[in-house]
Chain A
């Protein structure tokens, strides 16, 4: 149980393109999902906390107008990288745990490798 699906797994696109990444909880509902970014040989960095039915909470230094998050249902959160540039190339990962699970561990999607040319 507790499977998180992330799509797409790999994206290569031109600079200036907007890219949407989906994160789905397949067998549970998640009021909250988390979006991370990881550059090569660096640790995971939390970008934002996605809240179902309300605005996302962004970490300091993360531009909310650049990284649009929509959490329209209890099983789906999307991250849109708007007008992506080469410096946005990174590994983006989402995570979630069942609503009301308290201190249960997070389950991660497979990640999306984004390459901007």
Chain B
């Protein structure tokens, strides 16, 4: 089993749609969680950290369930510019950052 797994995708959604990505991790000692987005042929960029209580940043909402070792990202009112690959990242005190394989999102006009 991979250490971090994500929805295989790709997700093709119309503009304005709400889309949710799921991520599971196997290391129960994991401490910090992040969502990154990666545009084609570019480096990953931090989208948001994921906090235990859940957190929201504009149209983006991240949730963490430590008991189930599960992280989610919800995007509301999708924009064309949201098209990218979304990477789930799990780490333990900065010693080992593990990236999920990513889920590709295409927002269609």
Bin chain B's interface residue count: 20 to 34
Main secondary structure of the interface of A (DSSP, over half): loop
Write out the residue numbers on chain A whose beta carbons fall within 8 Å of the beta carbon of B49.
105
Q: Is B25 an interface residue (CB 8 A)?
A: no
Are A97 and B94 closer than 8 Å at their CB atoms? yes
- With known contacts A44-B87, A102-B94, A107–B100 Cβ distance under 8 A: no
How many A-B pairs with Cβ below 8 Å? 47
Are B97 and A106 closer than 8 Å at their CB atoms? yes
Bin chain A's interface residue count: 20 to 34
Listed in ascending order, the chain B residues whose CB lies under 8 Å from chain A are 31-32, 34, 36, 41-46, 49, 87, 89, 91, 93-94, 97-102
**12 pairs across A/B with beta carbons < 8 Å?**
A43-B99, A43-B102, A44-B44, A91-B41, A93-B44, A102-B94, A103-B91, A103-B94, A105-B36, A105-B89, A108-B45, A111-B42
Which 6 residue pairs are nearest across A and B when measured between Cβ atoms? A103-B32, A108-B43, A43-B101, A111-B43, A44-B99, A105-B46
